[in-house]
Structure formats: structure tokens, C-alpha cells
């Protein structure tokens, strides 16, 4: 099982580097949001002082928000939230930037079934998709929001529908 750890921007670079070093033996997929994504100096410091992969980007907007992370090699995995980053077309452009820099694309998704299915459909179209972070399944009303035909979800897997659109019927 691959693991990731979310630090949720709560650390200074000098503190999180100690955490990252302790996690090196765990061989994480990534350490998520160890410092705020706009703190480029902290990201650079962390990358220089630990081999734990860094993932970030869920609160950034548009491809311009990801530009320095990608072109300055400030993280290992780009994790945009497609609803915040500018939607599917913009998400595809961000994924293309990542592919050009040989970086994996791992969308962050805490939205509705519609947002999950949209993220899944985009992920099918890109060569550098890694995994979609998703933790809303346990929300009590998640499955009441929409009807999706078939066995579309089981823990760890989403099967996009081949019905028109995203294959979702909203439950009014």
C-alpha cells in the first residue's frame, strides 16, 4: 500500500525537514503540503535536505500558479484541486506542463460525486496521472447527491461511466 502524509502547511522549513527525514524509511508517495506552496524558499530547502517526495498545489489557481513549482523543480508531485485550479481545461494544461517536466499529476478532490467523476474523466486523458486523492466517500450524504449507474465506486477505485457527459444524474 502506498502512503502519503498531509502536513497541511503547518510547518516551517526547519521543522518539517526533521519530519521528512524521519519519514524517508517509509518511502511515502509524497509528503503533502509541508509548507505553503507560495513559500518557494522553504520548498527548495526541504528538497535539498530530504529525499521524501513533496506534493503540493491543492490551493493554487490556474497554470500560472503552478509554473514555478514545475519549472524550478520545487516539488515532486503536482496536486491541483481541479475545482480551484480552473476546471477541466485548465487542469489539462497543468497536467501537460507536468508531463513536459516529467512530473506526476495527482488531482486533489474533496468535492461531490460530480467533481469526482470529472476528475476521473480528466485523469483518463493524461499520460502522467498518478492517483486522485479522495476522502469524501465517508460523508454520510455523498451517495445521495447523484445517481451513477453501475459499480462505479469501490474503495480505492473509480470506474468512469460511458454514459453521456459524466454519466451522472443529480438527485434534486
Cβ-count burial 30-69 (b if 16+ within 10 Å, e if not): bbbbbbebebeebbebbbeebebbbbbbbbbeebebbeeb
Judge whether residue 148 has pLDDT over 90.
Answer: no
* Structure confidence by residue, pLDDT tens digits, 51-94: 999 999 999 999 999 999 999 999 999 999 999 999 999 999 99
Q: Give the pLDDT of residue 35.
A: 96
Mean pLDDT of 130-140: 85
Q: C-alpha distances in angstroms, 65 versus 4, 47, 84, 104, 158?
A: 23, 19, 11, 17, 28
Cell numbers representing residue 172 in the block: 434534486
Confidence band (pLDDT; 50, 70, 90) for 153?
confident
Place of cell 479522495: 134
Judge whether residue 96 has pLDDT over 80.
Answer: yes
Cβ-count burial 74-85 (b if 16+ within 10 Å, e if not): bbbbbbbbbbbb
Predicted model pTM: 0.92
* Structure confidence by residue, pLDDT tens digits, 1-35: 789 999 999 899 999 999 999 999 999 999 999 99
Contact 119, 88 (CB under 8 A): no
Judge whether residue 137 has pLDDT over 80.
Answer: no
- Can you tell me the distance from the alpha carbon of 138 to that of 106, in angstroms, rounded to the nearest whole number? 21
R_g over Cα of the chain: 17
Q: How high does pLDDT run on average in the chain?
A: 92
Q: Give the pLDDT of residue 162.
A: 82
Q: C-alpha distances in angstroms, 14 versus 62, 80, 166?
A: 29, 25, 44
Confidence band (pLDDT; 50, 70, 90) for 112?
confident
Q: Give the pLDDT of residue 21.
A: 93
Amino acid at each position: 500500500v502506498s502512503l502519503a502524509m498531509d502536513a497541511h502547511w503547518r510547518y516551517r522549513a526547519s521543522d518539517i525537514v526533521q519530519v521528512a527525514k524521519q519519514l524517508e524509511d517509509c518511502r511515502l508517495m509524497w509528503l503533502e503540503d509541508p509548507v505553503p506552496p507560495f513559500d518557494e524558499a522553504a520548498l527548495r530547502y526541504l528538497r535539498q535536505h530530504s529525499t521524501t517526495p513533496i506534493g503540493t498545489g491543492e490551493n493554487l489557481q490556474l497554470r500560472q500558479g503552478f509554473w514555478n513549482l514545475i519549472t524550478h523543480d520545487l516539488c515532486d508531485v503536482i496536486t491541483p484541486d481541479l475545482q480551484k485550479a480552473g476546471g477541466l481545461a485548465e487542469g489539462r494544461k497543468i497536467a501537460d506542463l507536468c508531463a513536459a517536466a516529467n512530473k506526476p499529476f495527482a488531482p486533489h478532490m474533496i468535492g461531490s460525486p460530480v467533481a469526482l467523476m470529472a476528475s476521473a474523466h480528466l485523469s483518463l486523458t493524461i499520460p502522467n496521472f498518478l492517483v486522485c486523492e479522495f476522502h469524501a466517500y465517508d460523508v454520510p450524504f455523498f451517495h445521495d447527491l447523484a445517481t451513477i449507474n453501475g459499480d462505479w465506486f469501490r474503495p480505492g477505485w473509480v470506474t468512469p461511466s460511458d454514459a453521456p457527459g459524466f454519466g451522472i444524474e443529480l438527485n434534486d
